[in-house]
Amino acid sequence: MFSNNDKISPSQIANVLVLMMLGTGILTLPRTLTEAAATDWWIVLIIGGLGITLIAIAQAYIVKSFPGKSYMEIISATLSKPVAYIYIIFLVLFLIILNGFLVRILAEVVKMFLLLATPLEVIILSLLLVIVYLVRQGIEALGRLAELLLPIILVLSLVLVALTIGNSDYTNLLPVFQISFTDVVKALPVVLFSFLGFEFVLIFGTYVNKTNELTKYTGGAVLVILFLYIILNLATILTFGTVQITHLIWPTLSLFKTIEFPGLFIENVEALVMALWVIIVFMSIAPVLLAKVVLLTDLIKGKEFNYLALPLIPLIYFVSLVGDNLAEAYMLLDMFTLYAATIVAFIFPTLILIAMLVKKKLKREGSTSE
């Protein structure tokens, strides 16, 4: 399907998944998590993160059980071909809408901080054309780019967080263990949706050259995100406290604005943070477009995918124009992911896993009886 660019290593897919999970939510997670759990945010984050780790490993296990099979072939083998066709169509539509909202958010922020005089429509089209170019290079190019960018992003992020320590107030962590079990359960969706992106292992896992290592690297990718989220949320809470955070639109960006370090080689830290964020979101949008192209190619039984990337741009562009402003775009994205992403990331993969395990059990019982 991708000519010579059709294989990536387990570490490369892990890098892609990490960047997809970071996405747009990294700017708002401290606020939404604090609103849901106050000073006990860390309890909810750890429980949710470990839960997602197990779910991601289970989904990687599905791919591992069908080496070389595409997502559509896996669904056909477990839930029947008609179900596979219907679900893949639904999934492509879901990804088109998701792509549109993500591009809109990225374009709005770029316009707000970097390109004030540039029309939003021009920014959106420019971003989409660059993304199409990357997607047309195949999954190997995407994996290599993620492998190059992720270490740089992680190191710079940790350095920037370390520079905020001087503003810390450790009393902001108190009181602890105030949250009830019921409140933990209510707050978990905030955490679960902040890890969205791990489920793409079901689509891209077929291109991993060593599927026997897929579960380990997929679980590791989620744990990397969990560690980064804990560090960022901790630094934000220590700096602002739970009350002030709830009044900040982008607490993570506000955190880095507080950096004051005499002699720092970069005067405008905010520009560096925005550049990092743009790279992160770009690398979370490109795999979504690639996933659509892969699924459509499977759906029509095509041999090459290059010609499918560009025709999707008008659809994504029109979706990206829905909503009057950034706040409305975020609201629509949250509403959309609450329902559709629950099916895509949790419910349907669970049905596949159950069907797969039942068929394996029946097969073993059949061979034993013979």
329: confidence class by pLDDT, cuts 50, 70, 90: confident
Least confident of 36-40, 252-256, 284-288, 326-330: 326-330
Q: Quickly count: other Cβ atoms within 10 Å of residue 108's Cβ.
A: 20
pLDDT recorded at residue 2: 47
Least confident of 28-37, 105-114, 192-201: 105-114
The string of pLDDT tens digits covering residues 86-126 is 999 999 999 999 999 999 988 988 888 888 899 999 999 99
Least confident of 133-142, 186-195, 232-241, 264-273: 264-273
SS3 letters across the chain: CCCCCCCECHHHHHHHHHHHHHCCHHHCHHHHHHHHHHHHHHHHHHHHHHHHHHHHHHHHHHHHHCCCCCHHHHHHHHHCHHHHHHHHHHHHHHHHHHHHHHHHHHHHHHHHHCCCCCCHHHHHHHHHHHHHHHHHCCHHHHHHHHHHHHHHHHHHHHHHHHCCHHHCCHHHHCCCCCCCHHHHHHHHHHHHHHCCCHHHHHHHHHHECCHHHHHHHHHHHHHHHHHHHHHHHHHHHHHHHHHHHCCCCCHHHHHHHCCCCCCCCCCCHHHHHHHHHHHHHHHHHHHHHHHHHHHHHHHCCCCCCHHHHHHHHHHHHHHHCCCCCHHHHHHHHHHHHHHHHHHHHHHHHHHHHHHHHHHHHHHHHHHHHC
Q: Is 46 left (phi over 0), alpha (psi -120 to 50) or beta?
A: alpha
- Domain residue ranges of the chain, discontinuous segments joined by +: 10-356
Does residue 51 have a pLDDT over 70? Answer: yes
What's the whole-model pTM score? 0.92
| Residue reference for tokens 């107030």 | 169
Closest residue by Cα to residue 211 from 2, 1, 46, 7: 7
Mean pLDDT of the chain: 89
Tokens representing 32 are 């939404």
pLDDT recorded at residue 16: 95
Does residue 224 have a pLDDT over 90? Answer: yes
Q: Cβ contacts of residue 225 below 8 Å, gap of 6+?
A: 18, 21, 22, 49, 195
Q: Which percentage of the chain shows pLDDT scores above 70?
A: 95
Largest separation between any pair of C-alpha atoms in the chain: 78
CA–CA separation, 318 and 100 (whole Å): 8
325: confidence class by pLDDT, cuts 50, 70, 90: confident
Q: Which percentage of the chain shows pLDDT scores above 90?
A: 59
Does residue 239 have a pLDDT over 90? Answer: yes
364: confidence class by pLDDT, cuts 50, 70, 90: confident
CATH superfamily for domain 10-356: Amino acid/polyamine transporter I (1.20.1740.10)
Does residue 5 have a pLDDT over 60? Answer: no
pLDDT recorded at residue 370: 58
pLDDT recorded at residue 167: 82
363 vs 161, higher pLDDT = 161
pLDDT recorded at residue 368: 66
